[in-house]
Amino acid sequence: MTDADKSGIEAERVTQIACADCRKLLDVSHLPSFSEIKCPACGMAQIVPARFGGFWLIGRLGFGGMGVVYHAMDKDLGRHVALKVMKKELSANREFVQSFKHEAQAAAALNHPNVVQIYSFGQVESQFYIAMELVSGGRLDEMIADGVALEETRSLEIHLQVVAGLRAASDVGLVHGDIKPANILFGQNGEAKVLDFGLASFIGQQQQGGAVWGTPYYIAPEKARGKRVDFRSDIYSLGATFFHVLTGQPPFDGVTSTDVVMARLNQPAPNLLDINADLHPETAAMVARMLEVDPTMRHPSYPALQIDMEAALEASRKPLKKSVAAKKAMFDSMSPRQPKFSRKFLVRAGIGLAAVVVVAAIAGGGYAYHRHQLRIAAEAAERQQMTEATAKGEATFGRINALAGAIAQLGEGVQPLAERINKIAAANSNLNTAAARAALEIDKALDILNDTEDTQAMADIARQHLQAATNYAAIQEPSQQLDFYFNVLIEGNNVIQECKVNAEQVIAEAGAILAQAAAAAKRAREDAARAAAREKAAKAAQQIAKKQATEVERMRPKMIQLELDMVDRARGANGPLIAQRKFENAAQSIVKIKGNLTQPETQAYFKNVQEAYEAMVKLKAFVIGAIQKAPYRNGWTTSGTPRDIIKANATRGLTITLGTAGSINIAWEQVSAAQLVKIANYYLGTANLTDEARADMMLAMALFCYESGVFKTADTCAAAACQVNPALTSDVRRLMPGFAEE
């Protein structure tokens, strides 16, 4: 074990690692975790990790009173995460354990681009942990270090994104409880992300009971007083954060934390324009409202805050036209003042004043002025005026809610890089001709022709000799010689003709042989050149393939991370379809990204999500088929009266009988998760099913509740499924991380 003496966190040391570059095994048994070592083979520096359950701890990211945050990698998925490990002694607190589990489950169900995603949670040797999205784009507190104020427009853009994340959390019942610059991170593309949802909430629960918990510079007054908190407390903390970002200093300061809190309780927030006169009055008025001491005077909802913030953002993009003095005077006229009427009257006028605040949110920065005027008029107002103000406020609030919307993005997939290999052929050389051999054959032929000339000379001599003879004897001898010479001449001519034919044939054959030899030699050189080129290309291809394999292995964790995020985004985008019980549409929608998944780990993760959707499709089909066979008597309660469920349709929903009044159709999105589970359980108890089929339906109900965020019911259904069919335990652990643990 290591690090237990420093932070209270126990993790297993490793004795041997493989170099990330050359894969050489390195002995690190003598080195502490998170120290640096250089590979003796390739010289690459790397960190000695530690082992914590199913994670490799790569380095520390931060410390806190509750534990340590590590940069870690999920060994099974190859995904880089931020791993928050709680101190071991906290596991002895049963209240902490229950709060940790429930808050972590709720936060894990929150999937929003402006909230740091929680992937999983669990326990390793009595140490609880949360694995969450690793965000590497910096923190807001680092951007305003040393009193540096951010530009107004950029600050508004950041806080609009934070409000979007807080709104999504509020929609599922989560209150952050510790909004501050250090809990606002930035992704690679500069998007703001809120950190520690759920975790901040249950830490706060552990420290309640008279103690003030929270960062003193940003804590809401009601929280400092130990009173109940809600989303408006987060709005106050966000306002204090915004004040700090725009001015370079928090709204309240002091020597001690107590001084800071007391200043907040006893003094109004400073005027933004007194500190930074270059701000637009719309921004200053909005922040002043966020920092109201009375929660009822703050924005009544996140949509109302978004409207004010969007108006301030639009104004910030235009140049200021007023002088500094005029701008401050305008803001002073908009600042809230102490009301002059009694507390008893405030109780009577609560609904009417809340409506006036909502109306003022639509009017932008002038809400405080209208509120002040209404307070003065309220001293003499009658009940009829309050009724009219309430009606007006309710109508306006309805218009505000109609403006709300949500945006989900799918990320884009990543395309592979291809490389080409060019082959270079060797140059060709010329063959030597056979001219010498041809000339030799010609010389031989000329020698034969020369013999012909000698024979002719012999004939000429014979003729001369014959003409010169003067007697018979002399004539007789040359005549004999002449016959001899003529015979020789005839034979010589025959030889000459034969030799000429032979010479021509030899020359022709020699030329053909030389041409064939030259062609064969050329082919041999070309074959040799091609063989050399192939060998060279093969070696080059092997080297490139080796480099590519190394690069692919190095990039694989990043690819896994990108693909896991792609699946998570698609899963989050299917949330509205699950809420409408359109399970088949959700299953069809997520299949669109299947072709973009290349890694085995992400393909397995995708298969789990797809399997859960398919199980929900079967659950809905089972319920519809069962209702069609036999109505559910008194299965639906409306206005306190039990009614029969008589029909079910895949698209239109359930048909409920109203007795003599006929029947009514209930859309699927109006059928709550609890109601659907109740109907399914009823028919599971009456249907003639095998234990295996019944357990499968129970698991489908568990998956439906898990995907809908109803974790307590999901746990109950999963346990029932495993009890009927213990073989499903491994499926529950695979499809519902954190459930059915040993």
Active-site amino acid positions? 178
> Residue written as tokens 């489950």?
105
Q: What is the Cα 681 distance to its own chain's centre? A: 38
> Residue written as tokens 């140049």?
319
The answer to whether 655 and 647 have CB atoms below 8 angstroms apart is yes
Task: Please choose, from the candidates 700, 502, 729, 525, the residue with its C-alpha nearest in 3D space to the C-alpha of residue 614.
Answer: 700
State the chain's maximal CA–CA distance in angstroms. Answer: 187
The answer to whether 276 and 263 have CB atoms below 8 angstroms apart is no
Helix intervals (H) in 109-195: 140-143, 152-171
Task: Please choose, from the candidates 200, 176, 285, the residue with its C-alpha nearest in 3D space to the C-alpha of residue 239.
Answer: 285
Angle at 173 between CA 169 and CA 178, to 5 degrees: 60
The answer to whether 400 and 355 have CB atoms below 8 angstroms apart is no
Q: DSSP letters of 550-583?
A: HHHHHHHHHHHHHHHHHHHHHHHHTHHHHHTT-H
The answer to whether 623 and 679 have CB atoms below 8 angstroms apart is yes
For residue 433, the one-letter residue type is T
Strands 67-74, 55-63: pairing is antiparallel
Distance CA 651, CA 507 (A): 97
Distance CA 361, CA 300 (A): 9
Tokens of 213: 């918990």
- Within 10 angstroms of residue 500's Cβ, the number of other Cβ atoms is 14
Q: Give the phi and the psi of residue 653 in degrees, each rounded to 5.
A: 105, -145
Task: Please choose, from the candidates 393, 384, 383, 504, the residue with its C-alpha nearest in 3D space to the C-alpha of residue 442.
Answer: 504
Task: Please choose, from the candidates 665, 720, 715, 713, the residue with its C-alpha nearest in 3D space to the C-alpha of residue 697.
Answer: 720
